[in-house]
Amino acid sequence: MPDMIVNLYGLAPVSPQAQALRDSGVVCRRAESYERSVVLAFVERLFPDWADELRAGFAAVPPNVYIATEAGTLLGFACYNATRPDYFGPTGVEASQRRRGIGRVLLLQCLEALRAQGYAYAIVGGVGPAEFYEKAAGATLIPASEPGIYRDRLNRSEGDGT
């Protein structure tokens, strides 16, 4: 899985797309510290490999985590500065809610937050759906970026006491 790079100073504002989703009932916003256990349960259920990075995202105050909600129900999440500085991810949208524009808005909100911190570019580490990042943020693949930081990863059974 290669890494991708996004030019942050070339990004268009996310607010019109966020507002369009809001008009359809979906709110994309920064998560609050007091929502950590709900978001963590969602990620542990749907994307268990990413729970540790989510915890890292919630270690910041306010959290480096954005969420999508509809009538109090969590639909998706995205993190930044959770794996390495200037990294976007992980992110995930509940399967039945995909292709509504939620993933794009969460991605762009995180990228805007990175830009506000002074970064000129952001890294998406170990991408799955490269086309999503290309379409949503103009990301491009980084040559020779595989394996990236996700090399030599411990097996999930290590250190769990079994």
Residue 29 binds ligand COA, judged by CB under 6 A: no
Whether the CB-CB separation of 107 and 88 falls below 8 Å is answered with yes
**Binding-site string for ligand COA from residue 95 to residue 124, where x marks contact by CB under 6 A and - marks none:** ---xxxxxxx--------------------
Please tell me the count of residues contacting ligand COA according to CB under 6 A. 19
Residue 132 binds ligand COA, judged by CB under 6 A: yes
**For ligand COA, which is the closer residue by CB, 148 or 162?**
148
Whether the CB-CB separation of 86 and 123 falls below 8 Å is answered with yes
DSSP 111-134: HHHHHHTT-SEEEE-S-S-HHHHH
Among 28, 43, 127, 137, binds ligand COA (CB under 6 A): 127
Among 20, 41, 62, 135, binds ligand COA (CB under 6 A): 135
Residue 2 Cβ vs ligand COA, minimum distance, rounded to whole Å: 11
Sheet holding 73-80: strands in order across?
Answer: 26-30, 65-70, 73-80, 87-93, 121-124, 4-7, 140-141
Close Cβ partners of 45 (under 8 Å, ≥ 6 residues apart)? none
Binding-site ranges for ligand COA (CB under 6 A): 89-93, 98-104, 127-129, 131-132, 135-136
